[in-house]
């Protein structure tokens, strides 16, 4: 990755000076922005999780910005095209909408990234609007909890009123700030697809849990699908758009499942291999924008592989991905992931896999466990690691005959792992980190929240369960009673 070209500001300069530094290129004498083909992006990351951030467009990294000793960054984007870009500071990411002539500053605290994010400078109004919409979209999970247990007519009334309110808010801000037509078009589509996504998620929930309401879904409930475009190039970086496509594929997979006369329970099991394969086939048939196609084929292929229960399952998924035209580089990644998954299959012996202790020693798993154990895999970069550890602490009390062992997957970041264990008060006797291996860290992240049930010899007994699986505790009982 290359260092940005403008990261030379003295660290003592205030953020307001950095803003003025940007504005001088675009504001002096009211320069005609039509003659400008670049944009500036900079700002400050409070409590950074790494020393840099990257900016992407359409799935490709455009540049890398390194933080200075005041956690500030700046970069110039040449030949900028109006549209959505992605700023990524692992594990956080955020969309920004850039146009030629923008001088945009952001400020965010990783302890509450989305809530603290704020933009200033040229282009700030549209990006603050987008950030606010993103937060509201995230909060729609709470809406579903409240409204999916109601009839379809009331749900439609609620979601349509939310959509109308957001469109109205967009128009009010546009009247004052005069957005470009390209941004208005994108913002309206984003609001539409978020509304569509709520209806897709409602469809899934009532079909799975509430037959009474499922029977009340009218023939025109899904009329919005007639307006859906699955290859919107301007939305290919939009989380709302991709979330809609993902949930649409889930619902369509159930229709496919019914036609195959599969057992209903298997139809609604999103970890079922046949269900995953059905979604891969549909994604391959529906999507032709390269970044969207690659995103969904890779996402679903990865899911199929890490949930595989046999070598044959892994080979079937890879063969299907090849048939659907996944790129060669991505196919090689899927093969590497498949090799890792072999270690999670029942019967695999893991007793020789090396671990790092909090004191810096290395021990194989076989020296760590002496009785049945459940290993949970976690990362300091996961937002949920505190909740995960809280759950494991409760299970330790509930099932004292089992050892619950945490293995950290942030290979090479031993000091950060130790600080996290100390900071959050995790059980020091049951915390280890995976030692250096030939496996790239980016592949290990697929296994966060996954569980390994090992017998006292280090043999995998159960390897297809996640912490958030609804059947987690029933698998523990199965493990105890085997």
Tell me: do 304 and 368 sit in the same domain. Answer: no
The four Cα atoms 345, 351, 357, 361 give a dihedral, to 10 degrees, of -140
* Mean pLDDT across 98-103: 92
> Mind listing the pLDDT tens digit for each residue in 411-440?
888 998 999 999 999 999 999 999 976 777
Q: What is the pLDDT of residue 383?
A: 77
Q: What is the pLDDT of residue 426?
A: 96
Nearest by Cα to 22 from 75, 95, 98, 100? 75
Instruction: Specify whether the CB–CB gap between 257 and 275 falls below 8 A.
Output: yes
> Mind listing the pLDDT tens digit for each residue in 200-228?
999 988 888 888 898 999 999 999 999 99
Does residue 285 form part of some domain? yes
Tell me: do 168 and 297 sit in the same domain. Answer: yes
* Cis amide bond preceding 394, omega within 30: no
Does residue 127 form part of some domain? no
Q: What is the pLDDT of residue 265?
A: 66
> Mind listing the pLDDT tens digit for each residue in 338-397?
988 988 898 999 999 999 999 999 999 999 999 999 999 999 888 789 999 999 999 999
Tell me: do 63 and 159 sit in the same domain. Answer: no
Tell me: do 324 and 178 sit in the same domain. Answer: yes
Contacts of 314 (CB under 8 A, 6+ apart): 305, 308, 338, 341, 342
* Mean pLDDT across 190-209: 91
Does residue 403 form part of some domain? yes
Q: How far from chain centre, in Å, is Cα 358? A: 29
User: Which of 75, 95, 122 is the last residue before a domain boundary?
Assistant: 122
* Cis amide bond preceding 387, omega within 30: no
Does residue 386 form part of some domain? yes
Does residue 171 form part of some domain? yes
Tell me: do 108 and 189 sit in the same domain. Answer: no
Instruction: Specify whether the CB–CB gap between 72 and 62 falls below 8 A.
Output: no
Q: What is the pLDDT of residue 429?
A: 93
Tell me: do 279 and 167 sit in the same domain. Answer: yes
* Mean pLDDT across 305-311: 90
Q: Which two tokens stand for residue 91?
A: 């594990």
Whether the full predicted model's pTM is greater than 0.75, yes or no, is yes
Q: Hunting for tokens 């109006």 — which residue is that?
A: 82
Tell me: do 445 and 371 sit in the same domain. Answer: yes
CATH of the domain at 391: 3.40.30.10
- Give exposure, 305-329, as e/b (b: 16+ Cβ within 10 Å): bbbbeeeebbebbbebbeebebeee
Domain residues for 354? 347-480
Tell me: do 297 and 181 sit in the same domain. Answer: yes
Cα(128)–Cα(85) distance, rounded to whole angstroms?
14
Does residue 3 form part of some domain? no
Tell me: do 99 and 153 sit in the same domain. Answer: no
Tell me: do 114 and 157 sit in the same domain. Answer: no
Task: Classify residue 262 as left (phi > 0), alpha (psi -120 to 50) or beta.
Answer: beta
Q: What is the mean pLDDT of the chain?
A: 86
Tell me: do 324 and 457 sit in the same domain. Answer: no
Number of domains in the chain: 3
Does residue 132 form part of some domain? no
CATH of the domain at 83: 2.60.40.1120
User: Which of 294, 328, 343 is the last residue before a domain boundary?
Assistant: 343
In this prediction, what percent of the chain has a pLDDT beyond 70?
A: 89
Going by the DSSP 8-state scheme, the letter that residue 153 receives in this structure is H
Beta bridge partners of 20: none
User: Which of 325, 343, 361 is the last residue before a domain boundary?
Assistant: 343
Instruction: Specify whether the CB–CB gap between 330 and 298 falls below 8 A.
Output: yes
pLDDT band for position 145 (cuts 50, 70, 90): low
Q: Hunting for tokens 């600080």 — which residue is that?
A: 419
Q: What is the pLDDT of residue 111?
A: 82
Tell me: do 163 and 179 sit in the same domain. Answer: yes
């Amino acid at each position: 990755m290359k260092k940005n070209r403008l990261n030379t500001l003295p660290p003592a300069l205030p953020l307001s000076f950095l803003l003025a530094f940007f504005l001088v290129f675009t504001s002096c004498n009211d320069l005609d922005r039509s003659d400008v083909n670049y944009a500036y992006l900079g700002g400050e990351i409070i409590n950074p999780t790494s020393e840099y951030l990257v900016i992407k467009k359409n799935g490709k990294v455009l540049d890398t910005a390194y933080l200075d000793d005041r956690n500030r960054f700046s970069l110039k984007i040449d030949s900028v095209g109006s549209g959505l870009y992605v700023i990524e500071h692992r594990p956080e990411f955020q969309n920004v909408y850039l146009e030629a002539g923008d001088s945009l500053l952001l400020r965010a605290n990783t302890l509450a990234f989305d809530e603290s994010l704020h933009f200033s400078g040229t282009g700030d109004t549209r990006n603050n609007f987008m950030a606010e919409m993103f937060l509201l979209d995230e909060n729609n999970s709470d809406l579903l909890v409240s409204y999916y247990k109601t009839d379809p007519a009331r749900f439609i009334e609620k979601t349509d009123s939310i959509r109308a309110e957001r469109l109205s808010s967009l128009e009010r801000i546009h009247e004052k700030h005069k957005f470009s037509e390209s941004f208005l078009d994108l913002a309206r589509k984003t609001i539409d697809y978020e509304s569509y996504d709520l209806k897709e998620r409602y469809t899934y929930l009532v079909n799975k849990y509430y037959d009474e309401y499922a029977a009340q879904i009218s023939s025109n409930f899904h009329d919005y699908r007639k307006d859906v475009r699955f290859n919107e190039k301007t939305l290919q970086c939009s989380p709302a758009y991709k979330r809609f496509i993902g949930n649409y594929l889930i619902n369509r997979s159930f229709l496919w499942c019914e036609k195959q006369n599969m057992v209903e329970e298997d139809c609604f099991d999103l970890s079922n291999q046949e269900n995953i394969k059905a979604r891969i086939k549909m994604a391959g048939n529906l999507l032709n924008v390269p970044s969207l196609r690659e995103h969904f084929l890779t996402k679903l292929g990865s899911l199929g592989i890490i949930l595989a229960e046999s070598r044959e399952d892994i080979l079937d998924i890879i063969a299907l991905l090849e048939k659907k035209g996944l790129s060669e580089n991505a196919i090689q990644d899927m093969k590497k992931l498949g090799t890792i998954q072999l270690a999670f299959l029942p019967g695999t012996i893991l007793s020789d896999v090396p671990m790092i202790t909090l004191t810096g020693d290395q021990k194989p798993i076989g020296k760590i466990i002496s009785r049945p154990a459940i290993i949970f895999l976690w990362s300091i970069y996961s937002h949920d690691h505190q909740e995960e550890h809280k759950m494991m602490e409760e299970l330790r009390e509930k099932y004292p005959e089992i050892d619950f062992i945490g293995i950290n997957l942030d290979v090479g970041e031993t000091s950060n792992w130790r600080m996290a264990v100390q900071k959050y008060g995790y059980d020091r006797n049951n915390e280890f980190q995976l030692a250096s291996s030939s496996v790239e860290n980016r592949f290990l992240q697929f296994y966060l929240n996954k569980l390994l049930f090992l017998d006292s010899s280090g043999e995998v007994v159960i390897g297809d369960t996640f912490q958030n699986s609804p059947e987690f505790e029933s698998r523990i009982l199965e493990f105890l009673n085997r």
